[in-house]
Amino acid sequence: MQKPPLTYQQQLRYSRHIMLPQLDIDGQEKIWQSHALIVGLGGLGCPVAQYLAASGVGTLTLVDNDVVDATNLQRQVLYKQSDVGCFKTHSAKKQLTQLNNEIEIHTIDEFLNENSHLEQLLSKVDVVIDCTDNLATRNLLNSACYNTRTPLVSGSAIRLEGQVACFTMAPNSHCYGCVSQLFGEQTQSCSESGVLSPIVGLIGSIQATEALKIIAGLPSKLTEQLLLVDGLSMEFNRFNIVKNKHCPVCSA
């Protein structure tokens, strides 16, 4: 649903965006009229949701079927001790509304699967930010995004490392499946391997940046490359993504 144009007060609120020549008022208007789907409200999803809400993304849909656990508080910065035991989506919506009460926020408290009317949901959004922690869900999102031509921003983090890549899902483009076949299922989770708190904030911030660029129509190298971040050495490396001619999703 089309929102009214930005008011004068909103232009003041987002003036630091509007001052950027790459964005200007037209770019902020695109952000305000956009709808972003955030899947997973853990260490990555928390900063993504905060920055997209603060940036004025007009509609957010938050998806997570988990509740807040005490072990989440070390890195999932949307939640407070009083939120332990509550649905993450409910706690996140409350905090984000306090951050920006002008945006529209929808919540889905269920695990996404083939029966979740996922493609119907994706037909209503402009970008999907994958903040999940398992390969099966990432591949499911990738297939649905490719079928609906919905841009996908994928991120992951564990220990002191992380990675980000973007997929335009344009016809004949590569997809996340071309990358995921190279490393397979992750055998350990954060609960088994640990993760440094700011690493998920760093990766999530990069995901939010890329999502805003996609919404505003700005170019990105990460539509062609995979960014690897090593927090211990503080090295950033990028590798070209090559379309896999045997990919069951984008080469079928």
pLDDT digits (tens, 9 = 90+) for 112-167: 877 678 999 999 999 999 999 999 999 999 999 999 999 999 999 999 999 999 99
52: nearest Cα among 87, 88, 14, 89: 14
Domain-wise residue ranges, the chain: 34-240
User: Which positions ≥6 away from 165 have C-beta within 8 Å?
Assistant: 153, 154, 176, 179, 222, 225, 226, 227, 241
pLDDT in tens, 155-212: 999 999 999 999 999 999 999 999 987 765 555 566 668 999 999 999 999 999 999 9
pLDDT for 47 equals 98
Q: Give all strands of the β-sheet with 225-230 in edge-to-edge order.
A: 104-108, 59-63, 35-39, 127-130, 152-158, 161-167, 225-230, 235-240
Whole-structure pTM value: 0.96
pLDDT for 15 equals 98
Q: How far apart are CA 170 and CA 148, in angstroms?
A: 10
Q: Are 216 and 224 within 8 A, CB to CB? A: no
216: nearest Cα among 52, 26, 54, 55: 26
DSSP 200: H
Q: Which architecture characterizes domain 34-240 according to CATH?
A: 3-Layer(aba) Sandwich (3.40)
202: nearest Cα among 63, 43, 91: 43
pLDDT for 187 equals 53
User: Which positions ≥6 away from 246 have C-beta within 8 Å?
Assistant: none
Cα 206 to its chain centre, rounded Å, is: 9
Strand partners, 87: 67
SS3 call for 8: helix
Q: Which residues of 198-232 are buried (b: 16+ CB within 10 A; e: fewer)?
A: ebbbbbbbbbbbbbbbbbbeeeeebbebbbebebe
Identify the H or E element spanning 130: strand 127-130
